[in-house]
Amino acid sequence: MINKFNDRIACIMALSVMLCATAPAQEKSVKMKDCPPAVQKTMQEQSKGATIRGISKEMEKGKTVYELELMVNGHSKDMLIDTAGNVIEVEEQMAINQLPAPVRTEIEKQAGKGKITKLESLSKGGSVVAYEAVIKTGAKSREVKVDTGGKLIPGK
């Protein structure tokens, strides 16, 4: 009886170790002073005139990145910054009337009778590459991504 119990405990422990080893890295809240100097400099430049809502450190595609969450003129603006201080991605909240016509048409089509609860532009390399919308239908929410020409980008 004790051997079976010990075997079960050993099996549970081995499974726990395997799950922890394969789990994706979590983002960790950090302070600006704990970021590399190049990242601090970029964060200071990018946050001028804005309110910093949060800073976190995370792993993305095997590389350390820092996320700076801002509130700018009443809307959210989040950016990913690499360890060299380069802004690699920006998500910026926007209103439906700010969308290019083909993008707005596709997002409204995707929403149907649902409600669009959040809209963001997604920029890489200083240019908008896509738009993301969160659509709530009943109790369910889903994210829709559309390219700059208004074409739906399939989810993963």
Shared domain for 32 and 78, answered yes or no, is: yes
Residue 8: per-residue pLDDT: 44
Shared domain for 153 and 115, answered yes or no, is: yes
Tell whether 18 is covered by a domain.
Answer: no
Shared domain for 67 and 109, answered yes or no, is: no
Shared domain for 109 and 145, answered yes or no, is: yes
| Beta strands 87-93 and 152-153, pairing class | unpaired
Domain count, the chain: 2
DSSP result, 36-60: -HHHHHHHHHHTTTSEEEEEEEEEE
Domain that holds residue 120: 94-156
SS (H, E, C) 103-115: HHHHHHHHHCCCE
Last residue of a domain, one of 86, 102, 127: 86
Cα 141 from Cα 120, distance rounded (Å): 15
**Which CATH number covers residue 39?**
3.10.450.360
Under DSSP, the state recorded for 28 is: E
pTM above 0.85, yes or no: no
Shared domain for 36 and 57, answered yes or no, is: yes
Tell whether 69 is covered by a domain.
Answer: yes
Tell whether 122 is covered by a domain.
Answer: yes
pLDDT in tens, the chain (156 residues): 444 444 444 444 443 444 443 344 578 999 999 999 999 999 999 999 999 999 999 999 899 999 999 999 999 999 999 999 999 999 999 999 999 999 999 999 999 999 999 999 999 999 999 999 999 999 999 999 999 999 999 986
Last residue of a domain, one of 43, 58, 86: 86
Shared domain for 79 and 99, answered yes or no, is: no
